[in-house]
Structures are given as structure tokens and as C-alpha cells.
Structure 1
């Protein structure tokens, strides 16, 4: 998922408020308690986004797997992206909801020391899905770049074959699963003491937190690796931005060529439709994930007002969930073939004409 360094960092900084010279205990407790906005976001918006996202992504996977005409190179990438998004939505909000139900402190992720394996498993799977998504988007962007900018070479080399795309996706999953496996070692339940008197206003002054690092050495290792992951993600995003700039230029030039040939015109129209689907998917990904990544970077590499960062944490989390939920809407809104396949599959229209298979 996200590298949730906001949670990891502020769990170690209660000492900033070890006396009430600057803040009264009521003010400190209020600072780390759920606000009205948090409650609305967690109780109302998160469940709606997550439920619709899981249903939409599962429907997308079913349509692509069972409809033979939908089994193209791009759609294989989109199916893998939908799998990652489904697993992400199924696990990412769990610790947020558990923390909200079990305690008054915002995002402590206190699930009990005896459930440390749940903490490790959740963070491992969620972060892996987040990394799979960026790798899939990168690979899909390269695929579209080659198809649009070098169409002849792309077809001659059979670069758009489903089998080749499946191999690429398998490699992506293996790399992400292996790289993120470090979370199974570094993540732990960390005890910490809160400075106010025990059970002040009914709030305990000690708890445990599901964190990315348990001691100073682990935190340094985590921050170095997080820096690498951040730089890698930013590099991939910049490359993707450059690829789509080149594709836009190529598509604008192709208008003149397409006007002289019916075949080229149809091909150009098809390419633009696929391009628009992928382009919107990538754009939404960048817009929705950028705020959380920026907040994490600020928390890790500079001193920030934790009260301010905590106020925004659940809002930017919802943006991550929206990113994983909105893709099926994009596919149906801009792609007629996707829309018709959904209608055929789930509304029983022209069901007998739908050629289906159980292989991806």
C-alpha cells in the first residue's frame, strides 16, 4: 500500500508533549483523538468506496477472464491491476477500522501483541499490491508507447500477445512479492508510553502500535529502503509521463495519415480509445496517490506539525481507496467494448453470442 510513515513516525514522538507546559492534557488528547471529519470519512466514505471498489474490480476480472474478445494485451494488464486493487481494498482499511473501533487514538493500529502476524501479513500484502500497481501501470505504458509510436515493429515482434503479457505480469508479481518480503521481518508491534496520566478522561497512557520498525536500527533501514522505493516510484512516474507525452504527439500526427486511409482511420480510432482508457487510469493513479506519498515524504524527511498531518491522514487514505475503486468506472465510461461486455455478462443481453473461456 502506502508506506504509512505518518503512523510509524508519530508513534515515537509522544515525548514532544511529555509535559503540559505548552499544551494541557485535554489539548494533547484532542490532538490525537478522532475528529468529526475522521469519523465521517471512516464510518461513511471508506465503506462505500471499498465496497463499490471490490465489487467493480471483481466484475472487471470476471468480464476479462470469461469473455474471449476482451482478452487483449491491455486488458490482461487491467485484469492484473484489478486483482491488485481488490486485494488492496480488502486489506488496507482493516487496521484503520480496527483502530477506530478498539481505541480513541487516531491510527494507532493497536490490534494486540498476540496478533503480530496479522500486522505483518496486512502490511506485507497491502504494500505489495501498491507496488504491483505501479509496476503494472509502467509496463502497460511501455506497451502502449511501442504500439502507438512503433506500430509496425510492435506487430512484427508480436509484442502485444497475451502470452507475453502474462509472462510480464508474472515477473512483476514475483519481484514485488520478493522485494516487499522485508516487511515480514521489520514490521512489529511496538509498545510505547503516552505522556498524560493513566486513564486521564478514560484514555490509557500506554499501548502498542503496528509499525514499520521496532527500534532505531530497523527504522534507519526502513527509511533507507523507503527512500529507494520512493525514488523508484517517482522515476517510473516521470518515465510514464514522458511516454504519454510522446504518444500524444504521435496520435496528433497520425490524424493526417488516418484521413487518407479507411484502414488507418479505423486503426487510429481504436488506438485512441485504448490510449484514452489507459491514460485516464494512469492519471487517476497519479492524482490519487500523490498526496499520500507527499505526506509520507514530508513526515520522514522534515519536521512537521503532527496535528496538521494527523488531520489529513484519513482524507488522503480515502484518495488511495478511490484510486483502487474508480478504474471499472473509467473502463465503462470511455470504452464501448468494455461497456458492452459488462452488459452482456451481467445483464444477460446477447449472452449466447458472448464467446467465453476460463483462461486469462
Structure 2
């Protein structure tokens, strides 16, 4: 093993290196709570899609894949930070024993991250065509196209994650030179960190690999959401026929509700993902100009806000579906009530039902 030398030895203060009460509150209180909410909510949403045939629309097929990405991300992040806290008293000490641990954690975490950017964009693109170009959407939408788009999304996410992973794939140790005090005698003098492999161009490349998908997805979502809102605003209100609403009124009302729900969902997604990406953008600017824009304290605060917000982002989607859309609330209530539920035929969100056999064989039709 490499010995301590001037290049890997750092002087740290007690406050810089050790967890404090705020870290304990975050890593043993907030993160487990978010993980429970996220796992229960996303598994519940997937169960609703499995149980109710009328929920198996194209939109929900994409949202189901987003739920899988969210489950993966929130589980990996929560376990990593809770495990790190239990493993060591030092904030920067990772619990892995080899570089393989760094590779596995980084690769699968960022597959989830990049796939969520792509899937949330795929959802709003589908809603844009369904709302603004319904005839074209009716012609091109279908099972084969949706499966191909989702496969392409996951494949692209794997490629981006594989490019990013070398920036956090090497397990290295740092030596700590503590102040001369009995307070530090029992503390470890070495910490393990997941660091970049030895190529200078990899760290800056990793910053751009994180930034490009996020800001591109944000731009597309803003433009398409504005178009959806303008289209909904321009439409003439539909009238009722007698005491019953026409089929067109029901369909358009449902489609508009889903469109509004997804706009709220996407806005929340980018709001929660934003702090970490702002931190990443600051690091890009700092690297470009060779000087620091913010101090260590502001960096630490923004980093932790970004981490917690990113984890919360993976937990809130099922809550948003239920709060903003009565059809989703009814589906959850029907699915988790004590009565026996049979998946009926139907159409959710004004889009055609998608038949995909990705769940157990006794339910051949899939979202």
C-alpha cells in the first residue's frame, strides 16, 4: 500500500473531518425517512400499474420506468450515506474495501440519474404531441415505438454513466495530520475516498457529462411545457350534452389533467435536481477560470442541500400524481382498498393503452 507523503497528507480540523449533530440528523433521520417514503411510494405506483389494466398507458409506461430509476437512486444513495456514517467517524471516509465498490456505486447511481433526466423528458415530449399534435401522436404512438424509446433511453444512460464512472472509480487513501491534542489521539489517521483515475482530463470531463444532460433536458422541458400550456389555454371550453358529458369532453378533460399533472411533476423534478446541478455548474466555472467562486462553507451547504434535494426528488413523484390528478388518486384507492380489484379495460390520460409483457406472466398486458 502507498505510504503517507506530502502529496496525500492533509491537515484537517475537528470541524472539517468529523460528523456533527447536523450530519447525524441528516444521515440517520432524514435520509432513512426519504428512503422509506420513496420506496413505498414508487413500489406502490408500480403495483398500481401492474394491478389495473386501465392504468397501462404510454405515459404511465414511461412513468413506470422513471419509478424504477427513482427506486434505484434513492436506495443506493440512502444505503451509501447511512453505511458511511456507521462505518466511520470521518465525513470523507467511504466504506468500500476496493475500487470495485466505487465503480459499482458510481455506475449504478449515475445510470439512475441520467435515465431520470431522459425519462422525464420523454414523458413531456409524449404529452406535447398528445396535447399539441394529437393527430400526429395518434398515428406514430404505439407499443413498438415506446419500447424502442425506453430501451434507447436506458442504453444512452448506461453509456453516459460509463463515461462518468472513471472520475469516481479509484479507491485511494488520504493521510490526516491532526492537531497536537489528546482530543484527536483515538481518531484514524487515514481515510478511503473514491477518486478519479490518473488522467487530468477526466475530472473536468465528468463535470460536463453531468451538466449537459441536465441543462439540455431542462431546456426541452421548459419549451414544451410552455407550448402545452399555451395550447390548453387557446382551446375553447367544451360543453355538456344534457346531464352527461360527451365522450370527447371526458377524453379531453382527462388528457388536460394529465398534461397539467406532468408539468407540475417536471417542474418539481428540476427544482429538486437544481441545487446539485448549480453546484456542478459552479465547479465548471471555477475549473475554467482557475479560481474559487464560493467558500468552503457555502460549498458544503450547497452540496448537502443538493444531495438531500436529489434524494427527495426520487420520493415525491407518486405523491404529486395523487395530489394533482383525481384518476391517479382513484387508482391508488382502488388498488389498496380491501375490496377485490379487477383490472378493467380503458384508457388513461387520453392515450392508447400499451400492451407490454414486462411483468409476471399472468398479466400479459403492460404499460
Question: Shorter-chain TM-score category?
Answer: 0.7 to 0.9
What secondary structure does 1:258 align onto? coil
2:266 alignment counterpart: 282
- When residues 336 and 171 of structure 1 are mapped into structure 2, their CA distance, relative to the original with a 3 A threshold, is same
**2:304 paired with 1:314:** yes
Deviates more, 1:333-342 or 1:259-268: 259-268
Assess if the C-alpha contact under 8 Å between 2:276 and 2:305 holds in 1. Answer: no
Could you state the TM-score of these two structures normalised by the residue count of structure 2? Answer: 0.82
- When residues 331 and 349 of structure 1 are mapped into structure 2, their CA distance, relative to the original with a 3 A threshold, is farther
**2:123 paired with 1:140:** yes
**2:47 paired with 1:57:** no
Aligned partner (choices 76, 96, 100) of residue 85 of structure 2: 100
**2:177 paired with 1:195:** yes
CA distance in 2, matches of 1:359, 1:30: 56
CA distance in 2, matches of 1:224, 1:314: 23
- Structure 1 residue 296: deviation in Å? 2.6
- Structure 1 residue 195: deviation in Å? 3.4
Assess if the C-alpha contact under 8 Å between 1:41 and 1:315 holds in 2. Answer: no
Assess if the C-alpha contact under 8 Å between 2:19 and 2:89 holds in 1. Answer: yes
CA distance in 2, matches of 1:38, 1:158: 50
- Structure 1 residue 319: deviation in Å? 1.0
Could you state the TM-score of these two structures normalised by the residue count of structure 1? Answer: 0.84
- Structure 1 residue 102: deviation in Å? 1.9
Deviates more, 1:90-99 or 1:280-289: 90-99
CA distance in 2, matches of 1:359, 1:210: 43
Matching of residues 154-303 of structure 1 within 5 Å? 154-155=137-138, 157-159=139-141, 161-183=142-164, 185-186=166-167, 187-196=169-178, 200-211=184-195, 213-215=196-198, 217=199, 219-254=200-235, 256=236, 258-259=238-239, 262-302=246-286, 303=292
- Structure 1 residue 73: deviation in Å? 0.7
1:76 alignment counterpart: 61
Aligned partner (choices 149, 157, 166) of residue 132 of structure 2: 149
| Unaligned runs of at least 5 residues, structure 2 | 1-5, 287-291, 346-361
Aligned partner (choices 308, 332, 338) of residue 348 of structure 1: 338
Assess if the C-alpha contact under 8 Å between 1:38 and 1:314 holds in 2. Answer: no
Deviates more, 1:305-314 or 1:278-287: 305-314
Deviates more, 1:145-154 or 1:228-237: 228-237
CA distance in 2, matches of 1:294, 1:234: 10
Assess if the C-alpha contact under 8 Å between 1:193 and 1:205 holds in 2. Answer: yes
What secondary structure does 1:153 align onto? helix
Cα deviation, 1:222-256, whole Å, max 9, x if unaligned, reads: 322431441232022112101100110000001x2
- When residues 341 and 162 of structure 1 are mapped into structure 2, their CA distance, relative to the original with a 3 A threshold, is farther
Query: How large is the RMSD of aligned CA atoms in angstroms?
Result: 2.6
Assess if the C-alpha contact under 8 Å between 1:344 and 1:354 holds in 2. Answer: no
Aligned partner (choices 327, 334, 337) of residue 317 of structure 2: 327
CA distance in 1, matches of 2:117, 2:343: 35
What secondary structure does 1:210 align onto? strand
| Unaligned runs of at least 5 residues, structure 1 | 1-11, 19-24
CA distance in 1, matches of 2:133, 2:88: 56
- Structure 1 residue 196: deviation in Å? 2.4
Assess if the C-alpha contact under 8 Å between 1:57 and 1:82 holds in 2. Answer: yes
- Structure 1 residue 260: deviation in Å? 8.9
- When residues 321 and 58 of structure 1 are mapped into structure 2, their CA distance, relative to the original with a 3 A threshold, is same
